[in-house]
Amino acid sequence: MNVFIKSLVKAPAAILLVLATAMPTFAADEKTPLDLDQLLSQLQTGKAKQNQENKTREQAFLRERADQDKMLKQATNTRDNALKLSEKLETNFEKNEFQLADLSEALNKRMGSLKELFGVLQQVSGDAKGKMQSSNVSAQFPGRDVFFEELAQSMGGSSKLASIEQIETVWFELQREMTEQGKVVKFNTDVVEANGNKVNKEVVRVGAFALVSGGQYLELNPTTGTLAELVRQPASRFNDSAENLQESTDSIVPFALDPTGGSILSLLVQAPSIEERIDQGGTVGYIIIAVGLVAFLIAFERFVSLARMNYKVKRQLKETEANIDNPLGRVLKVNQQFPDVAYETLELKLSESILREMPLITKNLTLIKIVSVIAPLLGLLGTVTGMINTFQAITLFGTGDPKLMAGGISTALMTTVLGLVVAIPTVVLSSMLNTRSKNIMLILQEQSAGIIAERSEQQLERRQNMKVTSKNNQVA
């Protein structure tokens, strides 16, 4: 029984403790109640505080609600005013629209055929803007494209009409463009050089076809309106004609111009130079050139040596005394060294002397012939290498972009060209040098045969004389 009573007492106490814990009015530093009376007293105090707080919150809510009602009323008034203004503006817009339609109709009636005229003027202004922007005449008269652009924009999509001054300006600029296309004039302006420096120079304008300065061709940038030297200039003969034109005063000089306004010139300067073409040949191309230079140097040395040798041999033919500074003189010296030997022995001695002179006469001729043979073979090697690179590019990237295959094809073609360029002259040089050396050898052999024949006749005559003398002695 006591246990039951204790449990009944403890249950509400536990509930109250939980409620007390949840209430914010009970502070953590308050003392724990010792009995039920104290606990009841604390509950009453907390309830009073809670009621007071609830009243405070209710009053704050009522005040905020009043403020919100006031704001709502102001927003409603603003909305109503805006709706009234919108209705008023809409009514005015409809009135203005009807009035504008009436005025537009009256304007169209009054303009008549002038409307078509202003339409054509707008179209002409738009077309002339692009023409003036890219024309070389604008280098001397800048800013014309801005006028045409502003005129076309002001007339487009609006009822604004061009003034008499603007129409006269359009006529004047078109007339000036046609007139200036037939003139060759000089004027000073800023030019951007190839190194990036901006210098004020004298520029020669040949109609609307070309601009030159200091022997260099110029181009007009349509976007910025600046003049700049071409980074890549055409061939020297074109630059020479440009320089002659700038130095000329009244005389007529030949000059190369581009009637397309720069299209042909841009393609011309893009053509690769000799150095660039050689570089396209790659390593094999440089090897062919090196071999060809060696062959040409040897051929030049052989031409000079054989020419001097031929001159000395022909001089020796006119002299009776043998001179050892030439092959024929050394061969003739053998005859003088062995005056009494039999012609068979002399023939061997002369053959030996001619064989001794042959390496000097035919020196390095075989090397030139070898170069004439291997040069086209090296060109074929470069062709095969270039085609291999081309097929590798096709395998990796396909055939969609021809530029990827251009490198291998250029190598293939240039090595073939270089091989033929080296082979053809070396074949000709080899044939010419062989002919010259053979001519000298023929002279040596001819003179050697003459010496042997003369020695044989002398010995035969001597034998006959000896026989006659022997017979005379016997008869005596």
Residue 404: band (very low, low, confident or very high) from pLDDT cuts 50, 70, 90: low
Residue 202 and residue 322 in one domain: no
For the chain, what is the mean pLDDT? 79
Residue 352 and residue 429 in one domain: yes
Is residue 99 assigned to a domain? no
Say yes or no to pLDDT of 324 above 80.
Answer: yes
Is residue 449 assigned to a domain? yes
* Structure confidence by residue, pLDDT tens digits, 148-165: 888 888 776 555 677 888
pLDDT score of 113: 62
Say yes or no to pLDDT of 304 above 50.
Answer: yes
Residue 427 and residue 309 in one domain: yes
Residue 26: band (very low, low, confident or very high) from pLDDT cuts 50, 70, 90: very low
Residue 221 and residue 327 in one domain: no
Say yes or no to pLDDT of 294 above 90.
Answer: yes
Sign (positive or negative) of CA dihedral 349, 351, 356, 360? positive
> 98 is written with which tokens?
């009807």
Is residue 378 assigned to a domain? yes
Residue 329 and residue 394 in one domain: yes
Residue 115: band (very low, low, confident or very high) from pLDDT cuts 50, 70, 90: low
Task: Report the alpha-carbon distance of residue 253 to residue 265 in Å, rounded.
Answer: 20
Is residue 316 assigned to a domain? yes
- Higher per-residue confidence, 234 vs 358: 358
Range of the structural domain that residue 225 is part of = 184-271
Whether the pTM exceeds 0.75: the reply is no
Contacts of 162 (CB under 8 A, 6+ apart): 118, 121, 151, 154, 155, 170
Residue 376 and residue 465 in one domain: yes
| Number of domains the chain contains | 4
Angle between helices 144-155 and 164-180 (to 10 degrees): 140
The percentage of residues in the chain with a pLDDT greater than 70, rounded to a whole number, is 85
Q: Is 97 left (phi over 0), alpha (psi -120 to 50) or beta?
A: alpha
Is residue 157 assigned to a domain? yes
CB of 137 closer than 8 Å to CB of 179: no
For residues 353-367, average pLDDT: 87
End-of-domain residue from the set 155, 181, 207: 181
Task: Report the alpha-carbon distance of residue 141 to residue 174 in Å, rounded.
Answer: 13
pLDDT score of 301: 92
For residues 88-93, average pLDDT: 90
Residue 100: band (very low, low, confident or very high) from pLDDT cuts 50, 70, 90: confident
Say yes or no to pLDDT of 99 above 80.
Answer: yes
Residue 389: band (very low, low, confident or very high) from pLDDT cuts 50, 70, 90: confident
Residue 465 and residue 353 in one domain: yes
Provide the 10 A C-beta neighbour count for residue 203: 22
Beta bridge partners of 184: 206
The percentage of residues in the chain with a pLDDT greater than 90, rounded to a whole number, is 8
Residue 19 and residue 71 in one domain: yes
Say yes or no to pLDDT of 8 above 50.
Answer: no
Is residue 14 assigned to a domain? yes
Residue 131 and residue 202 in one domain: no
Residue 16 and residue 128 in one domain: no
Residue 124 and residue 204 in one domain: no
> 413 is written with which tokens?
């073609």
Q: Is 35 left (phi over 0), alpha (psi -120 to 50) or beta?
A: beta
For residues 394-404, average pLDDT: 65
pLDDT score of 408: 66
Say yes or no to pLDDT of 15 above 70.
Answer: no
End-of-domain residue from the set 156, 181, 206: 181
β-pairing, 184-192 vs 227-229, is parallel
Say yes or no to pLDDT of 170 above 90.
Answer: no
> 452 is written with which tokens?
């042997």
Is residue 13 assigned to a domain? yes
Kindly tell me the burial class for residue 475, based on how many C-beta atoms sit within 10 Å of its own C-beta (0-12, 13-18, 19 or more): exposed
Residue 124 and residue 191 in one domain: no
